Structure 1
Amino acid sequence: MSTGVLLALLMAMTAVGPLALNILVPATPGLVATLNTDPATVQLTVSLYLLGLAVSQLALGPLSDRFGRRPVVIAGLLLTVVTSFAALFASSITGLIVARAFQSFGASTGIVIGRAIIRDLYDRERAASMIGWVATMMVVAPMVSPLIGGLLDTAFGWEMTFVFVGVWALLVLIWTYVKLPETRPDHVTGGGPSYLASEARTLLTSPAFNGYVLAAALGSATFFAFLGGAPHVTIGLMNESSAAYGAWFIITALGYMMGNLAAAKLSQRLGVDAMIRTGLGFELFGAVLTIAIVWLFPLGGPATIFPPQFFISFGNGLLLPNSIAGAVSIRPQAAGTASGLVGFTQMAVGAIAAQMTSWIVSLSLTAMPMAVTILLFAVAAMSGYAWLMRRA
């Protein structure tokens, strides 16, 4: 398979997870009446999906080391297809929540195993470049899927969102079955549970691995902290509409995408560690700039927080592909396990950062507490990464 075809397939696989997550969001208000429930319960269709997306990575990565990349990807996509169409027959909110939870386990397959496949085939710097290209789907899919979901829900009802995801996953499954070869190296024999546990212990006791994981988790926590605080700041404190928030948020998405593209172009030439340091530098600059602008214009509008976020998101786009490539390169024979660990940690820390910032901002009258929180995460990411890499 050519590099271009493989890249397109991995991007399609990666898109399944964020597509399934976000496509249902516009339909959730209508589900309250349709399924005779309350908003908090309907929200579980999103929050439990996120939890499943995080936890499943801990299992899927080691399973791909044990049984191979190809069978685990095929099984995961098949599970996504089955659960997507099963959701059509949910007659209660409980049934829908269960279907979504199982859907998340299958839909995360492309995210976690796609990284392992890339590391199987390419060296560390080239892997960072490839992951940079694939990671753009983590921005594109969340941007377009709410629009698709809203149109489908308005025209046909919420059920069509699951039909769309099921058909997409089915097409990707067929493409994978026909084209994707087994990429796990021949010298990796896929040992049993004790072997996998040994590999996990080796990774978790490696300063270099922990440094890359910390850079990915705390580096992306700057984005999740903004995600948790910005809606309240923009809509609640600045009296802007939700539509205005969405429009301003494009700056953040654009910054992350441009960072991914820069990583894809430059990682091979500059190296993983230099790209991580550069990304952390952009994050620190953006965080300090946010504090300075908010301090000068405490009652300013969205222009005080969103433009500086471009630099933070750009830095995030630079460091994430390289942090992941570095983490899965510590022990290439355990690339699946490493990918699962870094993915789970990133999402878990991100969830904590978003929830914590949301609570802090709800008690404040300006954007300053959010800005300070973002700066603290950027400083922690830079100092923690530097300390661990010195020990490596």
Structure 2
Amino acid sequence: MRLSNPLPLFMLMVLFSPLAIDIFLPAIPQMAQALSVPVAWIQQSLPMFMLSFGTGQLIAGPLADRYGRRPIGLIGVLLYIITSSIAASADVYWVLMAARLGQGLAASCLSVAAFAGVRDFFGAQRSGAMFSYLNGVICIVPAVAPLLGGLLTVWWGWESNFWFMAGYGLIMLAALTAMLPETRPANTSSEGKLFSWNRYQAVLTVPVFIFYATLALLGMAMIIGYVTQSPSRLMIDMGLSARDYALWFGANAVVNITCAFAAPKLIEKVGKKTALWGSVSVMAVAAVAEYALGSIMHPLAFMGPVFTASVGFATMMAVCAGNALAPFGDRAGTASALLGLFQMTGAAIVVACLAGSQMLAVEQLSLMMLLPWVWVVVNRMLRGRCMSAETGNCQV
């Protein structure tokens, strides 16, 4: 039985990535102790996963355009089940990291299939709002996963978090096999070499894609930076328990969920341009606050600016995804893959470069909150007046 409206399945498909990021966060100290490595080593599994998730989409995108969204989604969920089981069974650090790389590849297949499917099914105009709803659903996982992960860790140890991921994969395998339709349009570009520079060049030479994909990259860097820093900042520096950490982390996810579902109506009311400028300006204000409050050892001093930045982030992403993919009805898989590469791999590289600098953690996070505003301002200064997304030119 195939669903006439596959949006609910697309929503469930995009949960694989945040689940792999967020559920085990409260278990990081226990994992470090069990595998006899520093906490910082376990934290690096986050950008490692995101690097794999981003680069994997370069493979998944052309495959989805050539063979369809459904088979790529099914392959992704099978790989997710296998790699989650390997991570749960890991007794040395390198096995865990290899499994995390595999999880990233699996999640990339599911993400490409879901985002391309939304672009296929809803078209250029309606897909913008649908992407915002997908982002809202994605934010549900950070709201509940750390609390669930904390309970699983207390009851059955850190391995149970990865067994939970494998279990979710098994349920979704049955659901996708039974109900996921093929949405790839008949005019999808499928000629020529499967993997060639020309496929990517056709997307990368469109100014609107570069502008919005880079903006999404910078916004995601802020989120990755926050997720990477939050366990040590809240649980080690400030002494919070795993339960309290999960509550603060979940509160920020609730902010993201609320704003992501409210963003389409806000954008419809004020317009994309006003919404974009407002969102990056809110993030810039949060950057100043994060830096100013950096020496205060209270959770609200760290999380208050994060809450504020999340409001701007959710609204900004509602503008970015739809506009970035709007010109690519005939190659939505490849365009979705490149957008994912920008968001995840590009963001992970930004976070890694800042982590290797001499900047303090609070300075790094503050800068990441500020960079989207800088990008919009610089782009406006260099390009001047821009045309609409449908023409392939940026809209600022």
TM-score relative to the length of structure 2: 0.82
Residues 233-276 of structure 1: per-residue CA shift (max 9 Å, x gap): 7789xx64345766555554333222211234455x459xx336
2:101 corresponds to: 101
Moved more, 209-218 or 179-188: 209-218
* Alpha-carbon spacing, 1:387–1:334, altered in 2? closer, same or farther (3 Å): farther
Deviation at 1:384, TM superposition (A): 2.2
CA separation of 1:242/1:132 partners in 2, compared to 1, >3 Å: closer, same or farther?
same
Paired residues for 1:76-91 under 5 Å = 76-91=76-91
Aligned equivalent of 2:390: none
Q: 1-side partners of 2:283 and 2:44: how far apart?
A: 33
Give 1:92's aligned residue: 92
- Partner Cα distance (2:251, 2:358) in 1: 21
Structure 1 residue 358: deviation in Å? 5.1
Q: Point out the more displaced range, 121-130 or 146-155.
A: 146-155
The reply to whether residue 341 of structure 1 matches residue 329 of structure 2 is: no
Q: Which amino acid aligns with 1:390?
A: C
Change (3 A) 1:226 1:91: closer
Which AA in structure 1 matches 2:60? Answer: L
Question: 1: CA distance between counterparts of 2:169 and 2:366?
Answer: 39
Deviates further, 369-378 or 65-74: 369-378
CA shift digits 1:102-143 (9 cap, x unpaired): 122112322232111000011223101111111123222123
Q: C-alpha displacement at 1:12, in angstroms?
A: 1.2
For 1:122-179, what per-residue CA distance to the aligned partner results, in whole angstroms no more than 9, with x for missing partners? 1223101111111123222123222222222322233322221111111111111111
Aligned residues: 384
Within 5 Å, which residues of 2 pair with 1:167-206?
A: 167-188=167-188, 190-193=190-193, 197-206=197-206
CA distance in 2, matches of 1:35, 1:295: 37
Alpha-carbon distance change, 386 to 278 in structure 1, aligned in 2, over 3 angstroms: farther
Aligned residue number for residue 323 of structure 1: 320
One-letter code of the match for 1:241? G
* CA positional deviation for 1:232: 7.5
Contact 1:225–1:373 (CA<8 Å) still a contact in 2? yes
Q: In the aligned structure 2, how far is the partner of 1:52 from the partner of 1:195?
A: 18
* RMSD (CA atoms): 3.5
1:11-160 alignment, distance < 5 Å: 11-36=11-36, 39=39, 41-43=41-43, 45-160=45-160
Per the alignment, residue 390 of structure 1 pairs with: 386
Measure, in 2, the Cα distance between the counterparts of 1:114 and 1:166. Answer: 19
291-300 vs 87-96, which moves further:
291-300
Quote the offset at 1:371 in angstroms.
3.9
For residues 21 and 246 of structure 1, do their structure 2 counterparts lie closer, same or farther at Cα, with a shift above 3 Å needed? closer
Report the equivalent of 1:288. 285
Q: Which runs of 5+ in 2 are unaligned?
A: 388-392
CA shift for structure 1 position 69: 0.5
Match among 355, 373, 379 for residue 378 of structure 1: 373
Give yes or no for contact 1:14–1:110 (8 Å, CA) kept in 2. Answer: yes
Structure 1 unaligned residues grouped into runs of 5+: none
Alignment of 1:176-255 (within 5 A): 176-188=176-188, 190-193=190-193, 197-224=197-224, 240-242=238-240, 247-250=247-250, 252-255=252-255
Q: 1: distance between equivalents of 2:347 and 2:325?
A: 20
**Structure 1 residue 63 displacement after superposition:** 1.3
Aligned partner letter, 1:209? F
**d(CA) in 2 for partners of 1:142, 1:285:** 22
Please report the TM-score for the alignment, with normalisation by the length of structure 1.
0.83
Q: Distance in 2 between matches of 1:386 and 1:120?
A: 34
- What does 1:349-388 correspond to in 2, within 5 Å? 349-355=346-352, 363=360, 371=366, 374-384=369-379, 387=382
